[in-house]
Amino acid sequence: MPPMSAEHKATEAVAKKLVEMIGARKNLDAIKELYADNAKHVEVMGGPGCDRITEGKATVLQKAQQFHDSITIHGSTVGKPITNGDQFILPMSLDSTFNEGPMKGMRMNMQETALYTVKNGKISEAKFFYPGCGMEEK
């Protein structure tokens, strides 16, 4: 097997660090440390008060902080990243109860897979894949 490219190695290093930080429930610190200033998040869908695309590290951090403040976390998992060049995928889950808004009091076990793109040693984009609201997996 040929040796991994420098790009692949750099992406694997970012992926490993992200997994460590998410596993330690340091998601906000991970954004501060591992994201590029111009990073963006792309969700499956938008909704009231939740844009589909969030651009800029500061805005991504603010949105993540608001989400964190609005839930009680009962448990979470983070899987093993799979890397391909400047990208990696990462399965995650979050068992939480919403503390405010229209879903207040609802407990949900959210499953998602994220596709991260790494440029110059920082996460430049994260795309999230998950079943839509009201949809059941079969």
Residue 70 domain-assigned (yes or no): yes
What's the CATH code of the domain at 116? 3.10.450.50
Residue 138 domain-assigned (yes or no): no
Tell me: the pLDDT tens digits for 36-70?
999 999 998 877 667 899 999 999 999 999 999 99
Residue 136 domain-assigned (yes or no): no
Which tokens go with 9?
Answer: 């190695």
If one counts the domains in the chain, the total is 1
Domain of residue 113: give its range. Answer: 6-129
Tell me: the pLDDT tens digits for 1-19?
778 899 999 999 999 999 9
Which tokens go with 121?
Answer: 């040693």
- The helix/strand count (H/E) of the chain reads as 3, 7
Instruction: For residue 138, name the pLDDT band (cuts at 50, 70, 90).
Output: very low
Question: For residue 121, what are the contacts with CB-CB under 8 A and spacing of at least 6?
Answer: 10, 13, 14
Residue 137 domain-assigned (yes or no): no
CB-hemisphere CA count at 13 Å for 94? 15
Average pLDDT of the chain, as a whole number: 91
Residue 93 bridge partners (DSSP): 77, 111
Beta strand spans in the chain (E): 35-42, 53-55, 71-78, 82-84, 87-98, 107-119, 122-129
Residue 94 domain-assigned (yes or no): yes
Residue 14 domain-assigned (yes or no): yes
Residue 76 bridge partners (DSSP): 94
Q: In this structure, are residues 112 and 137 in contact, taking their beta carbons and an 8 Å threshold? A: no
Instruction: For residue 132, name the pLDDT band (cuts at 50, 70, 90).
Output: low
Residue 91 domain-assigned (yes or no): yes
Q: In this structure, are residues 45 and 52 in contact, taking their beta carbons and an 8 Å threshold? A: yes
Residue 65 domain-assigned (yes or no): yes
